[in-house]
């Protein structure tokens, strides 16, 4: 029996995959639990059209992410924070503060998109963070932490 998966099924396939299973497994488990549909001609055409549209949307999103990544390459961000006389930060600098500093420069970056190499920054200096703009577009972003005056 040929079916189209509506969601990821462990050891079988991922969403929108067309797979062949035994009749009983498909008819008695996958279809009643809304995990799959029978792969009729009309279902195959709908799947092909949805895949084509999704590919077009993904290409557009990736193109936008690449444009943002190119703009981010040239930006410098400086985060000022309270420090001791030896350069140790009271507390730490995290993704929230970095996201706020980037957004002040005119970008829409969520803190969940940012990954700092050192989980918490506790000293003054220059650091690099990775910003995930798209599942295929990750940009290295340099920033500096300085003493607040």
80-107 residue pLDDT tens: 888 888 888 888 888 898 999 999 988 8
pTM to 2 decimals? 0.66
Q: What residue segments make up the domains of the chain, in order of their start? A: 2-68, 69-147
112-132 residue pLDDT tens: 989 987 767 888 888 888 999
What is the domain class of 2-68 according to CATH?
A: alpha beta
Predicted local confidence at residue 92, as pLDDT: 85
Nearest residue to 11 (alpha-carbon basis) of 33, 35, 34 = 35
Pick the CATH number of 69-147 from 3.90.1150.10, 3.40.50.300, 3.10.430.100, 2.30.300.10: 3.10.430.100
113: phi > 0 → left, psi -120 to 50 → alpha, else beta; which?
alpha
């Amino acid at each position: 029996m040929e079916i189209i998966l509506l969601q990821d099924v462990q050891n079988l396939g991922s969403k929108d995959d067309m797979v062949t299973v035994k009749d009983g497994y498909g008819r008695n488990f996958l279809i009643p639990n809304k995990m799959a549909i029978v792969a009729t001609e009309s279902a195959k055409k709908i799947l092909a059209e949805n895949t084509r549209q999704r590919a077009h949307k993904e290409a557009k999103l990736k193109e936008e992410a690449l444009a943002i990544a190119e703009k981010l390459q040239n930006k410098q961000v400086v985060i000022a924070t309270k420090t001791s006389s030896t350069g140790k930060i009271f507390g730490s600098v995290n993704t929230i503060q970095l996201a706020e500093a980037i957004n002040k420069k005119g970008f829409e970056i969520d803190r969940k998109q940012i990954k700092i190499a050192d989980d918490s920054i506790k000293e003054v200096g220059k650091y690099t963070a990775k910003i995930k703009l798209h599942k295929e577009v990750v940009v290295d972003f340099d920033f500096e932490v300085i003493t607040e005056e």
